[in-house]
Structure 1
Amino acid sequence: MNTDQTMQFIYLVLLGAAIGGSALVAGRRDLGKTAQHAAIWALIFIGVIGAIGLWDDISRDVAARQTVMDDGSVSVPRGPDGHYYLTLTINDVPVEFVVDTGASEMVLTRRDAQRVGIDLNDLAYSGFASTANGIVTTAPVTLGTTTLGEMSDQNLPAVVNRGDMDMSLLGMTYLGLYDRIEIFNGELVLTR
């Protein structure tokens, strides 16, 4: 705790003591009712402090994850972990991606690949990718229809990762389709 925080804490304690003391003096004839009112105010105070502490979590859960703007561009707020997440529709199935400018390709998890209609038994894991967890094998695939906002693309190349991944990666083969990619004020904006 730095000096400013200490001084603020002392001020709040003194202010609380002054308010509490005046309430006790004013309600000394009926201490039961005064204690009841004090308990109600304490619960209100704790509730407000809790709401302030959780505000970022609440607003993040309520806020839209991505927005299509009037000009057709897509705006995405930064996630709580500092990453940007986009939901693309592949073959009419929503797939959540983490934006990864370090990934060369669109990389699907096996689960997401199966969800969009790719038969995992027909895949030939002939490629390799170097990841933070080491070398993994990948299988090239061609996606049918990929949609983000108003933008639709046909027959995009992607790979299915044979290794374990929590989420599919949106790499440069997809991001490169956009004329402009910018990060401004904590939002990622994709424009064609």
Structure 2
Amino acid sequence: MAVEDVTEAHAAAEELRRAALHDPLTGLPNRALLAERLRAALAEDAPDGVTVVFIDLDGFKPVNDTHGHAAGDLLLREVAARLREVVREEDVVARLGGDEFAIVCPGLLEADATGLVERLQAAVARPVRLASGADVRVSASTGTATSSPGDDAERLLDEADHRMYAAKRRRPGARGTGAIKVGA
């Protein structure tokens, strides 16, 4: 039947779109969807701007090396779930790849970003119980950037990423945070 063929084709197309825009391990949006959502948030021109938080897990590689990739995958899924629990409904949590995540927070005041980062870091730092029964801990280096009128998505993402790596370099082995107001 033609109706069934169209319905099945539509469902298959939707599944392909979802697969192209989401991380298969965590189910979170991927880098492409994050950029799309960030451009949309910036286009809305929220008076308080848009804040982007970059997160890199510290101590992830030893979990993979010691406990195996299945343990690392479990850890990444747990971190993804914890990040989603901390943010607001309108925020977009994405996995960029490896052990890097980013969050787009439309209308988040720059002053409120510090509190969010502290809650995110606390959530990540809680121990994760592996299938083997071992508890592992990681921490998070973070960087934030808050938009100013006229900012574009690429610049905002680059600034948050740069600030995260700057924080990581300043405090090797420790949780770091760096914040910047883009365009300021």
Normalised by the size of structure 2, how large is the TM-score?
Answer: 0.30
Greater share of residues in strand = 1
Return the structure number with greater helix share: 2
TM-score, with normalisation over the residues of structure 1?
A: 0.29
